[in-house]
Amino acid sequence: GENVEQHPSTLSVQEGDSAVIKCTYSDSASNYFPWYKQELGKGPQLIIDIRSNVGEKKDQRIAVTLNKTAKHFSLHITETQPEDSAVYFCAASMPGNQFYFGTGTSLTVIP
Amino acid sequence: DTAVSQTPKYLVTQMGNDKSIKCEQNLGHDTMYWYKQDSKKFLKIMFSYNNKELIINETVPNRFSPKSPDKAHLNLHINSLELGDSAVYFCASSQRTGVDEQYFGPGTRLTVT
């Protein structure tokens, strides 16, 4: 089955700096890559996703890049704010299959 | 309006008891899931139902039994609770499996003493 690795497990940045979280996957058939943000005491919530026919996608301060050849994808958060502090999960999947989640990155933005 | 709701939010019980967690989604989705999140925050898929049919059943003790009375509901019943069952359980739903966003419920924190 698919194996998703996520790094780093913890990340601390100063407010206003950028944060980058990286994931790799093993199954070249995976074609959907969502990113979820989980705030304390809440369920994960989708913040951005990308499909394999696209190399990059942006939504305001958040961007995701995908390198299908190398089988890795990354989340970029610019101009970080304290409310960006949360646990972030990447995932990989394909039609009819489950989401394979990474192990999570705990992001702390220091004011 | 809550898209995916779970009850109860907190559940404290003793070893050996039987308990249920209920999940309902009002999004009209065809697929529903149960996840377990342990203390290290790892999200592990337990079950997935599509149109009331079980499609994913990961390696989960058979003390866990999901039941889907209709497309909008997926309940989780746990028999003979053990200390290791303590975790946060999330219900989720999506329109299609593997290609659409999954919407997560707020979670149920289960503590077995």
**pLDDT tens-digit series, residues B26-59:** 999 999 999 999 998 999 999 999 988 888 888 8
Note whether B96 contacts A95, CB cutoff 8 Å: yes
Chain B contact for A20 (CB, 8 A cutoff): no
B38: which DSSP letter?
A: -
Interface test with B, best of A45, A99, A101 (most B CBs within 10 A): A99
pLDDT above 70 coverage of chain B, percent: 99
The pLDDT value recorded for residue A58 is 97
Mean pLDDT of B64-70: 93
**pLDDT reading at B91 higher than 70:** yes
> What's the pLDDT band for B2 if we cut at 50, 70, 90?
confident
Note whether A98 contacts B90, CB cutoff 8 Å: no
**pLDDT reading at B1 higher than 90:** no
Residues A82, A85: Cα–Cα separation, whole Å = 6
Please tell me which of the candidates B43, B101, B107 has its beta carbon nearest to residue A101.
Answer: B43
Alpha-carbon torsion (A50, A54, A55, A61), positive or negative: negative
Chain B contact for A38 (CB, 8 A cutoff): yes
Each residue's pLDDT expressed in tens, for chain A with a length of 111 residues: 899 999 999 999 999 999 999 999 999 999 999 999 999 999 999 999 999 988 999 999 999 999 999 999 999 999 999 999 999 999 999 988 889 999 999 999 999
The pLDDT value recorded for residue A84 is 98
Q: CA A43, A33, A59, B26: dihedral to nearest 10 degrees?
A: -40
Q: What is the CA B98 to chain-centroid distance, rounded?
A: 17
* The residue type at B110: L
Please tell me which of the candidates A43, A46, A99 has its beta carbon nearest to residue B107.
Answer: A43
For residue A73, give Cα distances in angstroms to A26, B60, B80.
12, 30, 41
The pLDDT value recorded for residue A96 is 86
CB contacts, 8 Å: B102 with chain A: 34, 46, 99
Residues A90, A34: Cα–Cα separation, whole Å = 6
The pLDDT value recorded for residue B69 is 92
* The residue type at B57: N
Residues B97, A93: Cα–Cα separation, whole Å = 9
